[in-house]
Amino acid sequence: MSRPTGDRSPRDLVGGAPRERYALRFDGRELTAESGQSIAAVLWSAGILAWRTTRDGGAPRGAFCGIGSCYDCLVTVNGRPNQRACLVPARAGDTVTTQEGTGRADLAV
């Protein structure tokens, strides 16, 4: 059964398939990542749209530009804060956590 054209994913359009699937953890929740995905793509795939809070006011943020220019998508990966989720490749066993404010003063952006 074919899906309507509007329901196709980019992978459907090119006929691609991930070579590998593996787990990573986000705020204690296990998520499935596919080879080649960025951390932002893994979070989006799981329906998670915000994974950082702003320094002033704690407003939620997620991916905005998607190309590493805006710094809205910062997360802490394996204990290292200020990682741009849109640029960092997801790796098996990664521990990703929501970043609150600057993450850590000595690594502030």
Encode the chain (109 residues) as per-residue pLDDT tens digits.
455 556 777 777 787 776 799 999 999 999 999 988 999 999 999 999 999 888 888 888 888 888 888 888 999 999 999 999 999 999 999 999 998 766 654 544 4
Q: Supply the CATH number for residue 89's domain.
A: 3.10.20.440
Residue 107 inside a domain? The answer is no
Residue 85 near residue 44, CB atoms below 8 Å: no
Looking at the domain assignment, is residue 13 inside a domain?
A: no
Measured CA distances, 41 to 32, 34, 67, 106 (Å): 11, 9, 12, 28
Question: Does the residue 9 lie in any domain?
Answer: no
Number of domain units in the chain: 1
Give the type of residue at 1: M
Where do the H-state alpha helices sit in 1-109? 10-14, 39-45
Q: Which domain holds residue 39?
A: 20-102
Domain assignment present for residue 82? The answer is yes
The bridge status of strand 74-77 relative to strand 21-26 is unpaired
Is 3 part of any domain? no
